[in-house]
Amino acid sequence: MLFDRRPKIRGEDFYDRREELQLFFKGVEAGEGLIIVYGVRRAGKTSLVYVGLSELGIPFIPIDVRGFLADPSFLSPQILLGVVWEVLKRYESYQGRVKEFLSDVLEYVESLDLGMLKLRIREKRGELPTKVLEHANRWAKKRKTRVVIVLDEAQELRAYPRWRDLLAWSIDTLENVTFVVTGSEVGVLSDFLKLSDPNSPLFGRARLEIKLSKFSREQSIDFLKKGFNEAGIAVKEEEIEDTVDKLNGIVGWLSLYGYYRVTYGLTHVEALKHVEEDAAKLLASELEKIVKYSPKRYIAILRAISLGLKSWSEIKHFTEGSTGYIPDNRFNSLLQNLVKYSFIEKTENGEYKPIETLLPKAVEILRKKYGT
């Protein structure tokens, strides 16, 4: 179902992206040790990975890093890779039925009792991350396959440089293990993996990079039409075009709009209102993870960009008018953090703009919360 709210698993539920999917197939089949899938939020990165691996029939371990943020100690390789050990044990009973395994293991990982996982890892004190990965490599080699470890939203691991050492070691050493990391462009490529930094162990290492962009206007319209046709629902052309104008090619929001109309029978106005409200709240909660460290300055920057100010000097002038003087280097750091996490983007001509059209609504939610 195109309008399913969860990440896709079956190819028939995955819209287009055939070029990126074929590239992903080739990377896995060629034995790449590291595949990076990056792009803006809700562009379908996770779905691309899950569909690709389920169609290839490759056993894999999906780890959504965001699920472990409540306790930062879980983000260390020794703890997080414990999931690999646990999931490989479960795979045996599925006898190669990867799609069925994937459906069940996603529920398992989402509901994983982190306390029990940590306890089990502590019980295996001698099992270093390299030993866990060597076990996975032997497991795959014995079965003449590969094991793929997916680190979803991997930029959250940026504070653990040990991960870069471990990925470099895995690329060089393990023939039957592939890491797939997903996340925002700057956050994953620069902030976490540091691919352009000569001091990073991953500098110069072989890898495959796949970028997912927002849908074009034409793709967005076609996506909605095909989804409604699949559901047997007739929708007016002007309603589809209005939705595309307001949701700006973000497939996650387009899908949610379709879900509300198909599942709950909402009108165009009702469905769009629900999406805008849900999206603004979610976007505000995501923004708050960064904003809370300097709310007045961050919110002023976001408000300036939401109001249509584009140049560095315009945004800084507006921000300082709200918060007082900010040193240039500090202002640059705040601005770049918003770029790193795909809340805003810097265009080729050096201007800044929101990635999502719903940013102004999210900013208003934060303004009310922080009283700015």
- Tell me the residue range of the domain where 260 lies: 217-266
> Are residues 28 and 141 part of one domain?
yes
> Are residues 127 and 89 part of one domain?
yes
- The two tokens of residue 332 are 């640059």
Q: Is residue 272 part of a domain?
A: no
Q: What pLDDT is stored for residue 191 in this prediction? A: 81
Compute the average pLDDT of residues 127-147: 89
Rounded (5°) CA angle 139-144-146: 65
Q: Predicted confidence band at 125 (pLDDT cuts at 50, 70, 90)?
A: very low
> Are residues 294 and 203 part of one domain?
no
Residue 62 has pLDDT above 90, yes or no: no
> Are residues 247 and 179 part of one domain?
no
- In angstroms, what CA-CA distances link 300 with 11, 153, 326, 359, 364? 43, 27, 12, 13, 11
Q: What pLDDT is stored for residue 102 in this prediction? A: 65
Residue 110 has pLDDT above 60, yes or no: no
**pLDDT tens across 278-336, in order?**
999 999 998 998 899 899 999 999 999 999 999 999 999 999 999 999 999 999 999 99
Instruction: State the DSSP string of 135-185.
Output: HHHHHHHHTTS-EEEEEETGGGGTT-THHHHHHHHHHHH-TTEEEEEEE-H
> Are residues 150 and 19 part of one domain?
yes
Residue 126 has pLDDT above 50, yes or no: no
**Distance between CA 66 and CA 151 in Å, rounded?**
10
Q: What pLDDT is stored for residue 181 in this prediction? A: 94
Q: What pLDDT is stored for residue 82 in this prediction? A: 72
> Are residues 203 and 61 part of one domain?
yes
Residue at 23: amino acid letter: L
Q: Predicted confidence band at 4 (pLDDT cuts at 50, 70, 90)?
A: confident
> Are residues 254 and 149 part of one domain?
no
> Are residues 303 and 253 part of one domain?
no
CATH number of the domain residue 128 falls in = 3.40.50.300
Residue 119 has pLDDT above 70, yes or no: no
Number of domains within the chain: 3
CATH number of the domain residue 296 falls in = 1.10.10.10
